Structure 1
């Protein structure tokens, strides 16, 4: 997916979510929005021509303790609903996301449905799954 195609898709999606005249992606290929309580981020990777769509699960204040990210990975492996995404920890901003990648432009209806699933799952992961991981890792 070219950057222009990704920009057009994200611009269209953000406008359907009430963002007004958003560019979609900035000159660095980044964009984002809040939909209700969910935070959604977009990044176009020029080297692979992929649009990455990420719903925030949790932003850590410090580096996560050993076993925490593995605990989230294990939840996904055990079948916790990821909304079609994968567990994605970004070390540079200490944030945990559920992310999906698009190499081809999906239909508008498909993209909207998949973003809704991703955001719904991220909200569940930020509460229910987070509690299970904390209990498993820290015994709380």
Structure 2
């Protein structure tokens, strides 16, 4: 996927969601939009000619405690709906995301559906899954009582 194609796709999607003045991606290849309670981020990777689309689950104030990221990965392995994405922790901004990568230009309607699924899943992960993982990691004795 070319940078221009990624730029146009994100611009089209953002405008379709009501962000009329959105440039799509900035000169550094980043973009973002809030949709239906979800925060979606876009990043074009020149080296792999790909567009990474990420929905924020949670932003940590401090680096996550041991076991937390593994807990989220276990949720994905156990079949918790990721909206078509994968669990993705970005150390530089301490963000936990559900992310998917496009190397080929998707159909606009399919892309919009993908982003809707990804966004909806991230909201559930930020609410229900976050609580489950925290309980497993920080209070395993509580789970054993039930």
Q: Match for residue 108 of structure 1?
A: 108
What SS does the aligned partner of 1:48 have? coil
Could you list the runs of 5+ residues in structure 2 that have no partner in the other structure?
Answer: none
Cα deviation for residue 23 of structure 1 reads 1.2
Q: Which 4+ stretches in 1 moved above 3 angstroms?
A: none
Instruction: Give the TM-score of the pair, scaled to structure 1.
Output: 0.98
Gaps of at least 5 residues in structure 1 are: none
Give the 3-state SS of the residue equivalent to 1:58 in structure 2: strand
Give the structure 1 partner of residue 53 of structure 2.
53
Correspondence 1:94 to 2:94: yes
> What's the TM-score, normalizing by structure 2?
0.94
Over the aligned positions, Cα root-mean-square deviation in angstroms equals 0.7
CA offsets per residue over residues 6-51 of structure 1, 9 Å max, x none?
0000000000000013110010000001113110000000000000
Q: Distance in 2 between matches of 1:21 and 1:124?
A: 29
CA-CA distance at 1:52 after TM superposition: 0.2
Distance across 2 between alignment mates of 1:21 and 1:68:
38
Residues matched between the structures, number: 140
Any idea what the Cα deviations from partners look like across 1:56-86, whole Å, max 9, x if unmatched? 0000000000000000000000000000000
| Partner residue, 2:38 | 38
Match of 2:62 in 1: 62
